Structure 1
């Protein structure tokens, strides 16, 4: 996992922000809106469980954009840049780089428009109203993009079973929190059906539909008794590929 992600348990990272507002500044709402519209127009919705009429949607956006795309864009940032910028600034950088990489805008055009609005912040924005796209966005917000699939095989683990979190090869993107690697936990829930992530994570092993489990961890087993409050339980929803059976030797470990 990259340095700037899954920071649980790391020390000396500076003060923790206690900000509770979702949007601190108005421009952050616009970035969230751009991301939402991109997801509502994403090409992968043609295969989603809710039926979207992607073939007739009047949009020039023909690529796939999901939460995985947004996370990958942030994870691709240089670590020191990542720590320097605010939450939605990271979104903006990932989205901007995507549009440049896919040829929707050139770097030079992006620089020009940035300078244009910096000098004239009240200049009107391009507006291309489209009722079909507005309806598509509303439909997407109401129905989402379910990734629930039929089970490819019965779940390997059951409620109450002690499991060991895997330590897969490092990948550019993962859904496994780094601080849970090699930790033991107890399965508390087996979610019905199977879930498929938006993209393959390569050596990380996350590919195709699979069961997902709610696993409970004693905080002392993660950070040690001196670094956590007593009687604290950490819960994590984990794909089956990230879990292993405990070996007899591991079962002897308290």
Structure 2
């Protein structure tokens, strides 16, 4: 996430909601179901064919990009599943499943007659594929050979990569240093290519340990560490004076 979409490590943001309910309004369950079905029917998955007319790719990354494309003021104005609804609606329009005019017309129909029955669709094959997807998921691990640049114990730098659409690098870790805690076996990709951000083809993933005092000097509690799983494209060897000081 980027900008207003990743607030970890920032202070003085106002009251924090501690509501533990997953769904606040009944309609939110339907949005969650639509999103889940779209992921299960996504065309990149090697799952049994169904009579569904959904023929494009939809992943968690597409959902996140839809929310992150919002104007910052709109992002804070709308609730969680309202952002989901906006992202899903925009995706359907952009991919030709419905026009903006058709969606507006249907919306007006239900505003005028809230008791109007919802469309009924689906088939046993679709339900079976959704269940199979929920059981098996969509693993990011790929069976390819990669080069591991770092080993456990290495002190590394975190890049400040350009984030155009979506990033998996928290803002408060950028330009910081950390220590490799774990080198995960294999190579991993993400749900989408993040462009200039650097995550595309499968690559190593490392668990990096950070000391909070280095992330937030003078404003961190002692005796704990922060860990982050990061793609190799976000890591760089230490250079210059920092590397010399670490070596000493």
The TM-score with structure 2 as length reference comes to: 0.93
Is it true that 1:102 corresponds to 2:95 in the alignment?
A: yes
d(CA) in 2 for partners of 1:193, 1:219: 29
d(CA) in 2 for partners of 1:105, 1:129: 18
Structure 1 moving runs of 4+ over 4 Å? none
Aligned to 1:3: 3
Q: RMSD across aligned C-alpha pairs, in angstroms?
A: 1.7
Corresponding residue to 2:165 among 172, 182, 187: 172
Q: Indicate how the Cα distance of structure 1 residues 41 and 3 shifts in structure 2: closer, same or farther if over 3 A, else same.
A: same
d(CA) in 2 for partners of 1:29, 1:235: 32
Aligned to 1:49: none
Structure 2: gaps (5+ residues): none
Is it true that 1:240 corresponds to 2:245 in the alignment?
A: no
Aligned to 1:225: 218
Corresponding residue to 1:86 among 79, 97, 109: 79
d(CA) in 2 for partners of 1:171, 1:147: 22
Q: How many residue pairs were aligned?
A: 246
Shift of 1:152: 2.9
SS of the aligned residue for 1:142 comes to helix
Moved more, 185-194 or 83-92: 185-194
Shift of 1:169: 2.4
d(CA) in 1 for partners of 2:11, 2:32: 30
SS of the aligned residue for 1:29 comes to helix
The answer to whether the 8 Å contact 2:2/2:167 transfers is: no
Alignment of 1:73-222 (within 5 A): 73-222=66-215
d(CA) in 2 for partners of 1:154, 1:57: 39
Shift of 1:154: 3.0
The answer to whether the 8 Å contact 1:219/1:233 transfers is: yes
Alignment of 1:1-80 (within 5 A): 2-46=2-46, 52-53=47-48, 56-80=49-73
The TM-score with structure 1 as length reference comes to: 0.91
SS of the aligned residue for 2:45 comes to helix
Shift of 1:191: 1.4
